Amino acid sequence: VQLQASGGGLVQAGGSLRLSCAASVWTFDIQYMAWFRQAPGKEREFVGGISRSDSSADYEDSLKGRFTISSYNAKNEVYLLMIGLKPEDTAVYYCAANLWRTTRADRYKYWGQGTLVTVSS
């Protein structure tokens, strides 16, 4: 299984971006897909994720209201819509997939290569 993240770029503060993550194939152990981010010098942190079975999404508390995760199961794709971007949102954003929901990055089986989001002030 390969995950391909895309959609990153440079955006001004207050702007928006939509990231995409496509899985090359679907396997039974991909039931939850998540987004993480890692800023320079910081640990990778959970952004949010979505369940394949019922498309229910959850988010890191501080990002609720600005970030929205959705999915299109037929294409094995998930999306991260980010609005009201702030300079502190600057990071490499990774998609990951796992059998179950967890906020711990070290528990995820599959990872994408990351896409850089830079928010200028």
> What is the pLDDT, as a whole number, of residue 73?
86
> How far is 19 from 8, CA to CA, in rounded Å?
6
> What is the pLDDT, as a whole number, of residue 74?
83
> How far is 110 from 7, CA to CA, in rounded Å?
19
> What is the pLDDT, as a whole number, of residue 41?
95
The string of DSSP codes covering 5-67 is EE--EEEETT--EEEEEEESS--TT--EEEEEEE-TTS--EEEEEEETTT--EEE-GGGBTTE
User: Is residue 95 helix, strand or coil?
Assistant: strand
Give the pLDDT means over successive 10-residue stretches in the chain (121 positions).
96 98 93 96 97 94 96 92 98 97 96 97 94
Rg (the chain; Cα; Å): 13
